[in-house]
Amino acid sequence: MVGATEEMELQKLERDVEGGGGDVAQYLALVRKLRVRRSSTVARHGLALLNNSSARSKLGADVWTIYEQVAIAALDCHALEAAKECIGALRTKFPESMRVARLEGMWWEAKGAWQQAESLYSDLLADNPSDSALHKRRIAMAKAQGNLIGAVEATNKYLETFMADHDAWRELADMYILLQMYKQAAFCFEELILSQPTNALYHLGYAELLYTMGGLDNLRAARKYYAAAIEMSGGQNMRALFGICMCGTAITQTKGRGRDEKDSVDLLSLAGSVIVKQYKEKCPNKVDLITSILDKQLVANIA
């Protein structure tokens, strides 16, 4: 995550560059360091820098990093000819480079030539089966074509080797949810929680999934995970607070619930009080509406 100080520095450099008086190389270096996407600005000013032979000669070895950075930014902007020029310069300098070959595959993707890209990635993976970036390109390509099943299969294959990639597990869970394969998505969240038990976002995502699946057992489990997310975030997670309220109401309306649901009522009341407090501080004009909604839910749980 980009800090406030770094964000301010980036914005200042960006304003200077856009105004024509900034250090473009310094700006590009900061964009790389912070891992942010400023594709339009990077492509426009990066190309101008690379096309200026005098300025380019002062970059030293960094020029090749900038060629790669500008190539990716140009692909983002669908400036295929500019990207091709940058990739061509890199290919001349590094004829055997896997990174350059991957850029060529991305160029085919941007052009919509899926078969050429797939053929290239397959050949590269045959020689380098443990290249995580190549696997991710195949996943991205399947998603770009709307082939969600293919993306799921590619992600599962990727996770066979890179099981510790939390982002991949979360992305796989999201794809399963889109396919309404909730049990498979639940497995992904369970893996995430096992590997990072103090991550509130994983508990929140799992709670929302359990709530979506429904059923008394799932609703009670969802309530626990919502409560965990609230505890881990210092009581400030509004989605989890509202989730507690929604679970309480849903449990009340579910057949087979026990007569004694005091825990549900107590949690709903506590969550509701925190929600109202937050709205009083940040959105005072909506307090009456929120209070009315929560009061109705509390009455429904007590009834």
| Tens of pLDDT, residues 210-253 | 999 999 999 999 999 999 999 998 888 889 998 988 888 888 77
- 137: how many CB neighbours lie within 10 A of its CB? 22
Q: Can you give the pLDDT at residue 290?
A: 76
Query: Helix, strand or coil for residue 2?
Result: coil
CA nearest 278: which of 287, 269, 270?
287
The single residue listed with the structure tokens 């995550």 is 1
Average pLDDT over the chain reads 90
Contact status, residue 101 vs residue 124, Cβ threshold 8 Å: yes
CA distances from 148 to 98, 105, 106, 179, 186 (A): 27, 20, 19, 8, 18
Question: How far, rounded to the nearest angstrom, does the alpha carbon of residue 117 sit from its chain's CA centroid?
Answer: 24
Calpha distance 176→171 (Å, rounded) = 9
Q: Is the pLDDT of residue 267 over 90?
A: no
CATH class, range 127-190: mainly alpha
Q: Can you give the pLDDT at residue 302?
A: 45
DSSP state letters, 185-252: HHHHHHHHHHH-TT-HHHHHHHHHHHHHH-SHHHHHHHHHHHHHHHHHTTT--HHHHHHHHHHHHHHH
Between 268 and 275, the more confident residue is 275
DSSP state letters, 66-128: HHHHHHHHHHHTT-HHHHHHHHHHHHHH-TT-HHHHHHHHHHHHHHT-HHHHHHHHHHHHHH-
| Tens of pLDDT, residues 158-199 | 999 999 999 999 999 999 999 999 999 999 999 999 999 999
Two domains, one topology: 1-110 and 127-190: yes
Q: How confident is the model at residue 257 (pLDDT cuts 50, 70, 90)?
A: low
Radius of gyration of the chain (CA): 25
Calpha distance 133→178 (Å, rounded) = 24
Contacts of 240 (CB under 8 A, 6+ apart): 200, 203, 204, 207, 226, 227, 229, 230, 233
CA nearest 219: which of 178, 256, 166?
256
Q: Is the pLDDT of residue 74 over 50?
A: yes
Domain coordinates in residue numbering, the chain: 1-110, 127-190
CA nearest 86: which of 96, 99, 115?
99
Which amino acid belongs to residue 233?
Answer: S
The arrangement of secondary structure in 1-110, i.e. its CATH architecture, is Alpha Horseshoe (1.25)
Q: Is the pLDDT of residue 261 over 70?
A: no
